Homo-oligomer: A and B are copies of this chain.
């Protein structure tokens, strides 16, 4: 039977939190379509560092903790979903838990069970031992799993999956839990498979420029390890201190270095994957070139754990640049930003490593909300661009940048500009772009979208949406545009005093339809998760979605891997092989 999907608007607030706690405390069995996962769909921009976020989040002031969703700190956007639990899946029993413990060799740290069902004094100040696995890092998506397993080896995970497959238990693979679309936490009572203890760096080959890691290695740890050998990871994310390599690969994470090193689809050379039935698929080659058959590993890159669980990764780790420059420019039109990008590609060529833009509305918000920031240029401009170069010889990079500055000034592409004179100044310039997200959070409610559009026309969505909203909502609703212009990736944000149905209806599905009509992507880098599983139709045609269902059917015919995610409910249902045929 297809999973029933009902769209309703349920604000996740303190009452929901209390209800969830009550549910956890009261031991009961959920079956059939009775269980309802209430998820507040709240995308966020991950372009800032997680630790920076933590530092700017004033817990004292609002009295909230990480497990609680403080409405005043919420940013939001997108419709809310209530997705019914699929009664096809089994429920975890004591026998299953005992089996999992055996799978991890009796290691107590390898299986975490819910404490609320067994103890009257709840651990961790009233919380449950499973909270950290059930709730995403933003506290927006709340699952109800009763058990998390933390294998230390591929063999342990293989045994765990074989059990889950045999018992038809749904599973959610989890890395650093830093995702933005609810892909890494359970929707209901799925078994959480956390890869955090598979965290060995297997090898670093300086000659080949290739590193092999287990899925649980934190991005920043790999970066440190390869930096010590003069290399770098071709991927940099705000969440790098927490996100795991397996999660990065499974979400095809984009990030700040994409302009320079391209996507993970080119950088990842090999994978080891545990399949839904526990079989191990060994695609762990470290070769740059291999044309023997279909490139199966690409299926698992960006599949968000719905086709298999990535356990090991071979990834290119190129030589690290030794010299970095940052410049900030003011421009009088978006067309000039595009012209500047073209000139930067031509003149900075091989050293261009980032090209980010933001509009004046975004800068105003930063200056208004964040202490210690100041207008970077003498006069306000409608648009700003941050250009970063990374090269191997300082004098060459500086000379290229100076020549570039001269040309863009002479051609009057820019109004004004400033070059970071030292590391601190460069950081301050970057900050204006990086902290827009934080400023938005402080400013009130915000609807957030992560969209790819044709570069030259990208900003039209911002102006079109402004024109659409202004008559009805006036100046209280601000539409902001910023993002990775070099990658054609717009972060569209609608800042307002509070969330209203009227405003949401004015934005959606308009934004998705606009994106569809421009042949853009409704998720440039964040993935679909549980938040945008139904929205895939705006970026992929029906035949493509149908074929994705065929891939799901081929690799996970019981549908136990990360259910309720990525594909629309109807596609997922069609992908299931009837129990009678399994």
Expressed in whole angstroms, the minimum distance between the Cβ of A204 and any Cβ of chain B is: 13
**Max chain B Cβ within 10 angstroms of own Cβ: one of A279, A301, A528, A543:** A543
Per the bound structure, the CA–CA distance linking A378 and B289 in Å amounts to 35
Q: Is A70's CB within 8 Å of the partner chain B?
A: no
Contact call A290/B208, Cβ cutoff below 8 A: no
Q: Which residues of chain A (495-542) have a CB below 8 Å from chain B?
A: 519-528, 532, 535-536, 539-541
Instruction: Point out the residues of chain B lying under 8 angstroms from A390, CB to CB.
Output: 350
Chain B residue at minimum C-beta to C-beta distance from A566: B293
- Bound CA span A523–B292, Å: 6
Which residues from 333 to 366 on chain A have a C-beta closer than 8 Å to any C-beta of chain B?
A: 338, 341-342, 345-351
CA distance A280 to B454 in the complex (A): 23
Q: Which of A81-117 contact B (CB under 8 A)?
A: none
The smallest beta-carbon distance between A257 and chain B, in angstroms, is 13
A318 sits at the interface (CB 8 A): yes
The residue on B at minimum CB distance from A528 is B292
The residue in A279, A282, A348, A544 that gathers the most chain B C-beta atoms within 10 A of its C-beta is: A544
How far, in whole Å, are A293 and B301 apart by their CA atoms in the complex?
Answer: 10
Tell me, yes or no, whether A120 is within 8 Å of chain B by CB: no
Given known contacts A350-B351, A350-B391, is B487 in contact with A288 (CB within 8 Å)?
A: yes
| A209/B345 contact (C-beta < 8 A), A285-B521, A524-B290 known | yes
- A456 in the interface (beta carbon within 8 A): yes
Tell me whether A262 is interfacial, beta carbon within 8 Å: yes
Task: Find out whether the CB atom of A258 lies under 8 angstroms from the CB atom of B288.
Answer: yes
Interface assignment of A287: CB less than 8 Å from any CB of chain B: yes
Q: A114 to nearest B CB, angstroms? A: 32
Residue A547 interfacial (CB < 8 Å): yes
A554 within 8 A of B: yes
* This chain's copy number in the assembly: 2
- Tell which of A17-25, A146-154, A392-400, A421-429 binds the partner: A392-400
Q: Which of B392, B454, B484 contacts A349 (CB under 8 A)?
A: B392
Q: Are A544 and B293 in contact (CB under 8 A)?
A: yes
**Cβ A279 vs Cβ B543 within 8 A:** yes
> Nearest Cβ distance between residue A470 and chain B, in whole angstroms?
28
* A299 nearest in chain B by CB position: B294
B-contact bits for A261-297, CB 8 A (1 contact / 0 none): 0110111000000000001111111111111111110
Cβ A207 vs Cβ B295 within 8 A? no
Of all chain B residues, the one with the shortest Cβ separation from A268 is B265
CA distance A550 to B553 in the complex (A): 10
Report Cα–Cα, A545/B302, bound state, in Å.
Answer: 21
From B295, B347, B522, A392 is in contact (CB under 8 Å) with B347
**Contact flag A520-B338 (CB < 8 Å), given A392-B350, A545-B293:** no
The answer for the CA separation of A263 and B307 in the assembled complex, in Å, is 24
Q: Closest residue of chain B to A527, judged by CB?
A: B291
Let me know if B292 and A521 touch, CB within 8 A. Answer: yes
B346 and A289: CB pair below 8 A? no
| A303 on the B face (CB < 8 A) | yes
Q: Are B266 and A262 in contact (CB under 8 A)?
A: yes
Task: State whether A548 touches B293 (Cβ < 8 A).
Answer: yes
A338: B residues at CB distance < 8 A? 207
Q: Which of A205, A348, A452 has most B Cβ within 10 Å? A: A452
Please indicate the chain B residues that have their CB under 8 angstroms from the CB of A407 in the complex. none
**Chain B residues with CB under 8 A of A307:** 294
- Given known pairs A295-B302, A544-B281, A544-B296, the reply for A524 and B289 (CB within 8 Å) is yes
Which residue of B is nearest A206, CB measured? B342
A252 contacts B by Cβ under 8 Å:
yes
Set of chain B residues within 8 Å of A532, measured between Cβ atoms: 292
Q: Does A376 contact B (CB under 8 A)?
A: no
Name the one of B207, B292, B523, B555 contacting A540, with C-beta atoms under 8 angstroms. Answer: B292
Residue A2 CB within 8 A of the other chain: no
Contacts of A265 in B (CB 8 A): 265-266, 295, 298
A567 interface residue per 8 A CB criterion: yes
Interchain CA distance A484-B282 in the complex, whole Å: 26
CB contacts (< 8 Å) of A520 on chain B: these are 285, 287
CB contacts (< 8 Å) of A553 on chain B: these are: 554
Q: Nearest chain-B residue to A280 (Cβ)?
A: B543
Residue from the list B341, B454, B488 in contact with A289, Cβ < 8 A: B488
Cα separation A267 to B262 with both chains bound (whole Å): 8
Contacts of A230 in B (CB 8 A): 346
**Is A382 on the interface with B (CB-CB < 8 A)?**
no
**Closest CB in chain B relative to A557 CB, distance in Å:** 10
CB contacts (< 8 Å) of A528 on chain B: these are 291-293
- Asked if B525 contacts A291 (CB within 8 A), the reply is yes
> Which of B303, B341, B521, B566 lies in contact with A290, CB distance below 8 A?
B521
Residues of B close to A543: CB separation below 8 A = 279-282
What are 6 A-B contacts with C-beta separation under 8 Å? A263-B288, A287-B452, A288-B489, A291-B521, A292-B536, A319-B346
Q: Which 10 A-B pairs have the closest CB atoms?
A: A266-B266, A349-B392, A298-B298, A290-B521, A350-B350, A396-B396, A292-B539, A287-B452, A289-B524, A550-B554
